[in-house]
Amino acid sequence: MKRLAIAILLAALTGPAYASGSHAGGHDEKLAVGEPGDKAKATQTIRVTMKETEDGRMLFQPAVIKVRKGQTVKIALRNAGQTDHEFVLDREDKILEHKAVMAKFPEMEHADANSIRLAAGESGEIVWKFTNDGEFKFACLIPGHYEAGMHGDVSVAAN
């Protein structure tokens, strides 16, 4: 309940920073990177592992995803690490905005279709339709994880 109250308060106080959506109620407008997809229409499954390394790095494997405009994919995520990790998909500027907010509210939980948070050992998925071509990002925005290397690139090619 406390987390929900914080998310609602944060959304109310930072309206313009959340043009791409609020954590309490999903996205108010379509994201540049696309929209939630229909699992039955997924043409590809991309398996992504989240983990830490012995030298303190945190990473996604693979760190680059390539898809086609209009394609619906299932991103199957597995946290093989020892700590919580998340996967947030968006434009780079929105990722960096969101990262700044997460630094202030590290316990914030996401309720958006373009993100998922997984505890150590958990698996989950995001089904996504890439409606626009271009270059996008995915990242773990738990404080310190992005800086430790936990981010990657999504390249969406025009048909």
* pLDDT category of residue 27 using cuts at 50, 70 and 90: very low
Q: How far apart (Å, rounded) are the C-alpha atoms in residues 129 and 131?
A: 6
User: What value does the mean pLDDT of the chain take?
Assistant: 85
Taking the C-alpha atoms of 91, 105, 59 and 129 in order, what is their torsion angle to the nearest 10 degrees? -40
Residue 159 is predicted with a pLDDT of 77
Residue 105 is predicted with a pLDDT of 86
Residue 144 is predicted with a pLDDT of 94
Residue 111 reports pLDDT greater than 80: no
Residue 110 reports pLDDT greater than 90: no
- Render 60-76 in DSSP notation, one character per residue: EESSEEEEETT-EEEEE
* pTM of the predicted protein model: 0.80
Tokens describing residue 31: 């994201």
Question: In percent, how much of the chain has pLDDT > 90?
Answer: 72
Task: Tell me the per-residue pLDDT of 56-107, one tens digit each, with 9 for 90 and over.
Answer: 999 999 999 999 999 999 999 999 999 999 999 999 999 999 999 989 888 7
Residue 4 reports pLDDT greater than 70: no
115, 77 Cβ separation under 8 angstroms: no
Residue 6 reports pLDDT greater than 80: no
* pLDDT category of residue 18 using cuts at 50, 70 and 90: very low
Domains of the chain by start residue, with CATH: 34-157 (2.60.40.420)
86, 140 Cβ separation under 8 angstroms: yes
Residue 14 reports pLDDT greater than 60: no
